[in-house]
A = this chain, B = another copy of it.
């Protein structure tokens, strides 16, 4: 953890980033597919040092697994303390096809953001995770 003396912005450690992301539930997935940049809300769980979300066939699945890189962002703020945080994870997304792995993932508390049937798990392996905490005026 490092707090910038001028801006008051705190750079979070990798451990803090994972902890915040693990508690976030709701996050956003950004991915470039072809020429198009897409952003979707997703429900996430942290499994080891990977992020898993569930999705049906469709744009979100295609975007995640076709993209060369994806970004997952989660943030929140506490009106009580006036502090906000944001964690950004950059990595590669893969559809989980192995049945044993799917059974394991079913055990995770993976609550879908919407209640439509979600047939696929997508697992994002990070190449970079970063986060910051700062005073929020919201």
Contact = CB atoms under 8 A, between A and B. Distances in A.
Size category of the A interface is 35 or more
Contacts of A30: 30, 37, 39, 71
Please state the number of chain copies in the assembly.
Answer: 2
A133 to B, nearest CB: 9
A98 B78 CA distance: 35
Contact of A90 (B37, B69, B73): B37
A77 interface: yes
A88 interface: yes
A31 B38 CA distance: 10
Interface of A: 7-9, 25-26, 28, 30-32, 37-41, 43, 69-71, 73, 75, 77, 84, 86, 88, 90, 111-116, 134-138
